[in-house]
Each structure stands twice: as structure tokens, then as C-alpha cells.
Amino acid sequence: MPPSAKQDIEALRMEIERHNHLYYVTNQPELSDAEYDTLFQKLQSLEARHPELITPDSPTQRVGTAPSESFASIEHSIPMLSFGNAFDEGELRDFDKRIRSLLDTSDVVYVAEPKLDGLAVELVYRDGLLISGSTRGDGRVGEDVTANLRTIRSIPLRLRDANGIVPPTIEIRGEVFIEKQAFAALNRRREAEGAPTFANPRNLAAGTLRQLDTKVTASRSLSIYCYDVGLVEGLTIESQQQLLTLLPRLGVRVNPLFQICAGIEDVIGFYQRVRESRDSLPYEADGIVVKVDSFAARNTLGTVSRSPRWAIAGKFPASQGITKLRDIAISVGRTGALTPVAVLEPVRIHGVEISSATLHNEDEILRKDIRIGDSVVVERAGDVIPKVARSIPELRTGEERIFVMPTVCPVCGSEVVRTDAEVAHRCLNISCPARFAQSVLHFVSKSGLDAEGMGPQLIAQLIDGGIVKSLADVLTLDRATLLGLDRFGAKSADNLLAALETAKHTTLPRLLFALGIPGVGTHLADVLANRFGDLDALAQAQEDELSSIQEIGPLSAHGIVTFFSQPTNRRMIDDLRAAGLVLEPLPGGAHSAALSGLRFVFTGTLSSMTRSEAGERVTSLGGIVASSVSKSTNYVVLGENAGSKADKAREMDIPVLSESEFLEFLKSYE
């Protein structure tokens, strides 16, 4: 190998990374795109001739690798906390009062910057080299998305050695996002290709970082702004101001729109300015983040629950717009619930065109006095989900019409019912076309009959082709039919048929869940199976008998009796039996009682199993899975992005378990 080859490669890498820094970090490019491409291609050519010289920090290694099977977990050295929220200027002032009281001072310096609508990540550098990157996850453990983060050009693969200040270890935290222009361009491209467009920039950023194929990540123009550190070795950082000065010297991108605030009034002035200019910002921002500048003061303030006392997010009010309500359409969901949907004259709200919004239910429409033809205020709740906030009665012309919920299903014509205990109107016909595809998907799901290989696309093809018209038709599929489907080979057909044959032999709890009976989840299915032991006995049960069971309330009891009273549903069960469905006895004849009486609540996303599967393991040991935290809760199990249930558990001194702790807990009983 000629000595010059190694020198040429190293020189090219340094030059390309210098131009990456100028373009993506400082926004001061020196080269045209064509000139940059020429340099990049020259490096690729040299590395192709000398593959032994390729290193992980080479610019060519950003372009993506083969798809991964899954994401491993990375534990954060120091937890990545989430911020509490302030929703107006008064709450920001309350935050300041708490800080000054706890620090026993009248003068506090804050640093404020826009709150980006993206995904929090941590980048770990050892001796200046990026060795790993992860999502925030549950604050303690995140997903290893190193390969995807390497494709983001504003993330340095190697820190710049500015005057010898690169520490042996530094964990840098920031927000991955996509700029508005890049988001719009990507959606235009997908629309032209006939692909579905993305709903909002945050979902795109979060979904892109979790792509198993990093080439997909590399094709989307993600960016990053960094603003915090975790573990730092060999370097002392004393304030947020010092940190935001240090990071750019290391080649790390920070948001230039930050402000040093000498007190809360400066913070509120910054909040107002960013709120007024948010539409002109190149990225989506839903508020500002305010932090105590001094790291020593932060140590004094400490944390409460999962949030630091020394920081808060000042959230902007939901974006609103005024438009006309043209009509109210009805959407029929899997459980038969009829949801009124506002059909709107398109209105652009914070960069997104809104033409429809949920109205939730009839009670909500009456409470807000919303009429067809009204001028209405529409807002994006959390700047994401559109909803009709209120009507504007003073703009009425007299031609507006009061909305009335239909008494028959608009799709299948079956009777629509509403009980006194429920706000939803429901179509009770399980074969209703509007709910059928979702019913089939639920029927074959992991918690249902668990027919592996029956995905949404296949189900849609079977229904559209008139092959599957009932749940029983799923169990009677044959090889010839499957081979006649578009892009369905012999191996796929054989695998699916084997899965369906296994699925025919199921248990009563799984069948009860699979049938989609309103209100019957995995836990209630177990309760019913243990109480009645037989499908026919359950089908004959009366409401008072069901209500006498501790876990079943009047609403669930009514839903179960109503379900089995429908002739279409009884015929459907007979057809399933005729198609070969067999109910096997539960393992051991009954569930273990090792966890009898213990009540568990799950929150967040589990990595090794679904929450339904975790619940099954609890109920198989005699435990109870509940949906809300109360005094009777014994344990709360935390997955990724655990929500308010975790905070409530800590407030009530209820033991919380991480996923790994939960699995260890089960091992001692299973």
C-alpha cells in the first residue's frame, strides 16, 4: 500500500468533515454541492481500493448499512429526565418563585431556548470518537440507534479537538428533528410516488430514528441541536452558558436562538418573542425550555419525581384557526363505536392543512353546541391532533342544522344502540364492513388467535377480493386460494396455513379477546373463562350474574350480554366451530394462584413483549391487570415513555418496576 494513499484518505476525511461542519453546523458553506460531491466520490474511490483503511468515523460510513433485526438497549449513565410544564406566564413566574425560595436568593440567571418538537437522544463520545447513540427511552434505558444517528450529517463522528479540550468521555444530549422545508419536500416526494405522507415532523423524526434500515434514515434530512450533557470525564462544566460555548468548539451543533436571562421577566420576554415568531422559525417549536444557568445551583435544587426542579418547559397555547363546518360524517371503528367527524373547509394551522377533526361523541357536540354550517374554532391539540374547540354562535345565519346521531349504522344498516352508562353509540353487527377489516386483524392478533403472517395488507387483499367475508373464512383458507394472491409464494402460503392450523386450537380466554366483545380485554377474558369455563355457559349468562363478579361492572356486563344476544354473532360462533375451531383446556387445567390478589398496572412501551403479553403472564399466575393507578394497585411496571401513571405511583408510594425488574419478579413465581 503506497504511504500516500493513507495520507490522501486522511486529508480528504478532514476536508470533508470541515465542509460538513461549515454546512450543517455553522451554516457557512464554502463549496457548491457539485464540488462537495466530487470530494466525497474521490474518498469513496480511494477507500474502495484500500478497504483496510476504512474507519467508523469516515464520512462515507454515514450512508447507511444493511437492515438491523432489532434495537438493543443502552442504559444512561445519568438518567435523562423530562421537564415539567408551564402553560402560561403565571406558571413561569410560579416556577421562578420556587427556584428563588429554594436557593434563598433574589437573583437567578436562566438560559432559555426554543423547545423543539423532536426526539431526545444521547451521543456518547470516547476520546472524541462517537461510540454509541440512544433514544431517551424511559429516562434510564433507551434504544440503541447508533447506526441511524451516524447518518445525520450535523452529528460529528469525531469531535473537533479545539485547543486540546476533548474530554476522555462526554455524553452529549440533544433533540433530533427535521426542518420544515425538508419535511414539506419529503412529503411532496412521497405524494408524487403515491406513498402516504407523514402527519407531522415529530412523528417523522421519531419513526425515522427507529428505522431498521439505516439507508432510509440516511435518505431523510434529519438535523440535531444539542443542549445538555450526561457523564463528563476530565472536564469541568460550571454553567449552561459555558456548555453552549463549549459544544460548538467541539463541532457540536447548538441552537443559536438562545438567551441568557437575568431573571424571570427576561424569560417571559423571550417566551413572547418566540411565540410570535414561531411560524417563521425553520423548525417546529411548541414552547421554550428554561434552565437555571448555574450547575452548582442545579445540584442544590435536585429533582422531583422524574423531572429536574431547575428546569421547566414553557408551552405555547394550542394553535388555532377559524373555518366552516361543512358536515359531520360518521366513522365506524372496530368495536362498532360510531365517531362523529367534522368535515371542514380546509384551514392551515401552524403549517398543516386541516380538513377534518374528531368530534368525539354526541355528548361533546351538544355540550359545545356545534351545528352543521357553523363557524368553528379548530386547534391542534399538542400541535398535533386537530379538534374542534368551540362553535362561534354569533356568526350564525340561521341556516345551520342541529346534528342527530343515526339510529342505524351508515355502513351496514344494522341497529345502533347506546346504553345509559356509555357515551358511545355502537353498531353491534360484528360483520359490518366498516369494522370488519379491523375485526379480522384483532381476531388473528398475538393476544387473539395469534395467526402469524396475517398482516393488514394481506387481510385487505383477502377482503377486497371477496375471499374473506366472515371471521370463519379466515380459518378455511386453502393453498390454492393463497397462491392466487398477488405476490404470495408457496413458502408464504405453507407458513400461513401452518399458523392457521395452530390458531384453530386455542383457549377460551384467547377466543373471548379475539371476538372483540366491547370492554373485554385480556384480563377480563381470563376472568370470564375462569368463572364460566365454557363458551356456551357464558353466552347464556345474565347481566346480574356477570355484575356479581368483582372485576366486571354494569357497563361490561351489559356489553357482554348484548354481544351474545345478537343473532349475527351467534351464527358467527357456530361458523367458527364448523371451520374447525377447537377450545383447548388451559395449561394445568387452571391458572396458578401465585399472584392471587396482586394488582398490576402497565405504562409505556415494553421492549421484550407487548403489554398484552405481559398482562397474560400476570393473569396466568392469578394476578390482576388494571388500567389505572389506585390505592389497590400493588405494582406499576414502567416501559419506555412511561406517562403520568408513573408519577402517580410515586406520589402514592406504590412500588414501581422497570421491565427487567418485572421479569425478575415473575421468575420467582413462574
Question: Which is nearest to 126 in space by CA: 210, 57, 224, 60?
Answer: 57
Is the domain of 352 the same as that of 442? no
Are residues 541 and 607 both part of a single domain? Answer: no
* pLDDT tens-place string over residues 342-381: 999 998 876 678 899 889 889 989 999 999 999 999 987 5
Here the CATH number for the domain that contains residue 621 is: 3.40.50.10190
Residues 376, 343, single domain; the answer is yes
Instruction: Report pLDDT digits (tens) over 428-438.
Output: 786 787 778 88
Q: Which three cell numbers stand for residue 79?
A: 438518567
Question: What 3-state DSSP class applies to 571?
Answer: helix
Instruction: Please give the helix or strand (H or E) that residue 126 lies within, else none.
Output: strand 119-126
- Residue tagged 426554543 (cell numbers): 114
- The torsion defined by the Cα of 7, 8, 9 and 13, in degrees rounded to 10, comes to 100
Q: What is the secondary structure of 441-503 as a DSSP string?
A: HHHTSTTTT--TT--HHHHHHHHHTTS-SSHHHHHT--HHHHHTSTT--HHHHHHHHHHHHHH
Q: What whole-number distance in Å separates Cα of residue 447 and Cα of residue 270?
A: 50
Residue tagged active-site, from 115, 291, 645, 648: 115
Let me know if residue 517 belongs to a domain: no
Domain assignment present for residue 149? The answer is yes
Secondary structure of residue 145 in the 3-state scheme: coil
**Could you give the number of structural domains in the chain?**
5
* Residue 74 falls inside a structural domain: no
Q: Answer yes or no: is 377 within a domain.
A: yes
C-alpha cell recorded at residue 621: 399466575
Residues of the chain with pLDDT under 70: 1-3, 21-38, 40-41, 56-57, 61-70, 162-164, 199, 305-306, 350-351, 381-385, 420-421, 430, 550-551, 586-594, 596-597, 620, 622, 668-670
CATH of the domain at 354: 2.40.50.140
Q: Is residue 232 part of a domain?
A: yes
Q: Would you say 334 and 448 are in contact if contact means Cβ atoms under 8 Å apart?
A: no
pLDDT of residue 342: 94
Measured between alpha carbons, how far is 9 from 419 in angstroms, rounded to an integer? 73
* In contact, 581 and 572? CB cutoff 8 Å: no
**Is the domain of 100 the same as that of 247?**
yes
Let me know whether 302 and 451 are in one domain: no
Residue 362 lies in a domain: yes
Query: Does one domain contain both 95 and 244?
Result: yes
* DSSP single-letter state for residue 302: -
CATH of the domain at 51: 1.10.287.610
- Separation of alpha carbons 497 and 504, rounded Å: 11
Say whether both 463 and 606 belong to one domain.
no
Verify that 9 and 36 share a domain, yes or no.
yes
CA distance linking residue 402 with residue 409, whole number of Å? 19
- Do the Cβ atoms of 167 and 247 come closer than 8 Å? no
The SS3 assignment for 324 reads strand
Task: Decide: residue 662, CB within 10 A, 0-12 exposed, 13-18 middle, 19+ buried.
Answer: buried
How distant is the alpha carbon of residue 22 from its chain centre? 34
Q: Computed from CA positions of residues 207, 213, 214, 218, in that sequence, does the dihedral angle turn out positive or negative?
A: negative
Per-residue confidence (pLDDT) for residue 65, from 0 to 100: 40
b/e for 388-403, b at 16 or more Cβ within 10 A? bbebeeeeeeeebeeb
pTM of the entire predicted model: 0.52
In terms of domains, do 41 and 161 share one? no
Domain containing residue 530: CATH number: 1.10.150.20
Domain coverage including residue 325: 319-402
**Residue 71 belongs to some domain of the structure:** no
Q: Please indicate, yes or no, whether residues 464 and 562 belong to a single structural domain of this protein.
A: yes
User: Looking at the domain assignment, is residue 338 inside a domain?
Assistant: yes
Q: What value does the mean pLDDT of the chain take? A: 85
Residue 22 is predicted with a pLDDT of 65
User: Do 628 and 557 fall within a single domain?
Assistant: no
- Residue count (the chain): 670
Segment holding 3, helix H or strand E: helix 3-20
Alpha helices per DSSP H over 402-453:
433-443
In angstroms, the CA 115 to CA 290 distance is 9
Known catalytic residue at 115: yes
Q: Are residues 330 and 307 in the same domain?
A: no
